[in-house]
Every structure is written in structure tokens, then in C-alpha cells.
Amino acid sequence: MSTDREVTDAELERRTILRRNLVPDTAAFLDTKIPGSQAKINYPLIGPGVSENGEQIVPVDEPHGFNLGGAVMPADTVNNLHLHFTAEVFLCFAGSWTFRWGVDGKDGEATVSDGDVISIPTWIFRGFTSESDDAWLYTALGRDESGGLLWAPSVISAAAKTGMFLSTDHRLIEVEPGTVPEGVDLVQPMSEQDLAGLRRVSVEEMRTRLTRPGDLVWRPDALLDSGLPGGGAELALVIGYGLTEHRDQAPRLADPHGFSLAWLRAAPEAGVNRHRITEPQVLIAKSGRWRVTLNAENPVTAELGPFDTLSVPAGAWRRFESIGSEAGQLAVLTSGDGRTRLDWDPAVVAAAGERNVAIDANGYVAPAHLVR
């Protein structure tokens, strides 16, 4: 990387999405007036996602290679059956949720709880119900342009009874219940033939796509700076190889999503020293408090607490520090399906070399005396 990407205070403020500043969207989708679904709240964060509300407010709308949003639903609130063309990954940050899938939602169920991550296969219908009042999900969608979504025929029928329709250009149309919009091409339910062509996913297969905290394999030596002051963060891979610099670390899921996802945790005063990457990246604080410092010169700093989000632009120097009184944990989403190569600050490379640690030609940590 030959050119530094310097971030101004104003840009950092724009890219820092604090939980307390989130703007709820209660009219994002076709099903928001169906009984049992009226209490749905969506929060667009990064990109437009698949919202059908053309008036939604998106805090960060520049392309990242993926979209990110949040969902908050009181107990017993239902998000109805739909399918996506690109990856849909849910990160549960609070409460518990029951996911169901299949054309009629009866192919299987899985309960997702705090700290779980579930990746739903493309081209299958999925829906979920909140099991607790404090339930909170983050939703990542693969690709900048995810192609919208398809609703199950039963959902289109139920929404029509409430006066809600969807145009073929993905605009919500609301009319008086019992009437039909005129002069508008409406989305029609999938045919029985198309429905029959969808594949079925077993409970056993879905379990392989559900990563619980007990499934995580944490590595304290995943990065070049693991033994250095200011470093020492542990890394657990969920989707894609992403940031790891340890040759033996593998993710739970490696199929293309358009982004990688890893958990990063660090004790107080530990973290990840200054480095940069060529891909856009998003950090979501799960626990603790974090200080993120951008730029090699003219540093700018943001502090994140639980449920706060930061978009870090490609090419910007960055440093992550756990600054709370207890260990903190971050969700790290990085654009792309391949490995992410870290470009470390020369001072970090030199300090690691003094400890006989270097990066080999394949981008992995190795004994420095063997690769010089």
C-alpha cells in the first residue's frame, strides 16, 4: 500500500455509530402491519440493506462490500418468512430468538442466544421470533447490492389483507385494507414450481452454520504483535480466514459471504497495535470499552462501548485498545472473501523482530531467524 488514508475528526464522527444515536425504522418491510409483527424495529447502520422503506436514514451509506443493520423486537414479535440472494448473518447481542426455515417455516428450528452467530444459506426462506423483551440482533448482508428479498407467498397474502403491497421496483405501497393499488406492477408470489425447486436444509446442516461461544477456538498468537506491549488480543474466526496470521487457524465457515467475521477480545490495556488493510472494515463492540485510534500522523480517536459501531475506511492506519476495567470483545467484519493481509507499522515489525517473530512470504507468523 503506497498511499496513507488519513481520516479527519469530522469523518471519524460520521463513521462512529453510537447506540444512543440510532434512528429506528418501524416501516422497513412489507410485513410490519401483519398481526404479531407490528412491533418490529430495524436500525440501518452500514448501507441500505434490503429495506423497502425509501425514506430510511442510513448513517454510513458508502459501499463496504456488505451491509449491516440491527433488529430489536419485543418478546413474541415475528419477522416473517423471506429469502435472500446473498449471505445473511445474524449476530445475537442480547436475548434469545427462535429461527425457522423452509417454504412453510417447518423444515427446522434453532434457538439463538447471546453471543451466537448464525449464517443462513441463500435461497431458503427464513424467519424468526423474539423470545425476550431485550432481544437484539445485528444482521450482515453480503455484497453492496444484495438484490432485495423474496417474501413467502403466505406473507404476501397476509400483508395484502392489511393494505400493504410491494411494487416490482421494491417500493412499499399502502392502501386501505380490502383494496388493491391501481396502476402499479406488484410483486407476485413465487409459483409452486419455483417453490418446489428450492433446496431443503436439515437441522444438522444448520447447526454447522450456527457458532456458539463454546464452538469458538481462540488463539492468543494469531497476530504478529501478540507478544508486544499494546498487542496481545485473542482472535476467534467465525466466517472466512480474515485477519489471522496463524497458519493453523481456520474458520468455522469458509464459504463465500462477501465478508469475513471474527471475534477479537483483549484484557485491559491490550489490543492490536498500529496496522492497516486494503479493505473496508466494521467494528461492533460486544463488551468492555474500546479506544480506536486512526492515522499514523494527526491521530483521531473514537471510544466504543457495548452495541456501538465504527466503520474504518480502507487504507487507514488503525490501533485497537481495550480500555475498560474488564476484558472487552469486538465483532470484526472485513470486506472480501479471501484472507486479509495486514500491513504493520514498521515499529511493530521491528519490535516483533527483536523477539524473533516475523511474517513469512505466505503472510503467516514464523520464527524470524528462519525467514529473514
Q: What is the pLDDT of residues 218-233, one digit of tens each?
A: 999 999 999 999 999 9
Read off the C-alpha cell for 250.
481456520
Q: In the chain, what are the domains?
A: 31-211 (2.60.120.10), 216-371 (2.60.120.10)
d(CA 1, CA 24): 38
235-280 per-position pLDDT tens digit: 999 999 999 999 999 999 999 999 999 999 999 999 999 999 999 9
What is d(CA 104, CA 124) in angstroms, rounded to the nearest whole number? 11
161: amino acid identity, one letter: K
Closest Cα partner for 212 from 338, 307, 117, 101?
A: 117
pLDDT digits (tens, 9 = 90+) for 337-366: 999 999 999 999 999 999 999 999 999 999
| DSSP single-letter state for residue 121 | P
Using an 8 Å Cβ cutoff, are 231 and 225 in contact?
Answer: yes
Beta-ladder partners of 69: 44, 139
Contact yes or no for 211/230 (Cβ under 8 A): no
Most confident of 25-34, 139-148, 326-335: 326-335
Strand partners, 357: 367
Assess contact for 334 and 340: CB atoms under 8 A: yes
What is the residue whose three cell numbers read 440493506?
49
Backbone dihedral region for residue 76 (phi beyond 0: left; psi -120 to 50: alpha; all else: beta): left
* Mean pLDDT of the residues in the chain: 94
Please give the grid coordinates belonging to residue 368.
Answer: 524470524
Each residue's pLDDT tens digit, 95-127: 999 999 999 999 999 999 999 999 999 999 999
Q: Which amino acid is it at 250?
A: A
| Rounded-to-integer distance, Cα 187 and Cα 207, Å | 33
Radius of gyration over every alpha carbon of the chain, rounded to an integer in angstroms: 22
Q: Are strands 309-312 and 16-17 parallel, antiparallel or unpaired?
A: antiparallel
Per 3-state DSSP, what percentage of the chain is helix, strand, and coil (rounded to 5)? 10, 35, 50
**DSSP β-ladder status, 234-239 and 259-266:** antiparallel
AA identity, residue 148:
G
What's the number of CA atoms in the CB half-sphere (13 Å) around residue 315?
7
**pLDDT value at position 2?**
46
**This prediction's pTM:** 0.94
How far is C-alpha 368 from the geometric centre of its chain's CA atoms?
Answer: 35
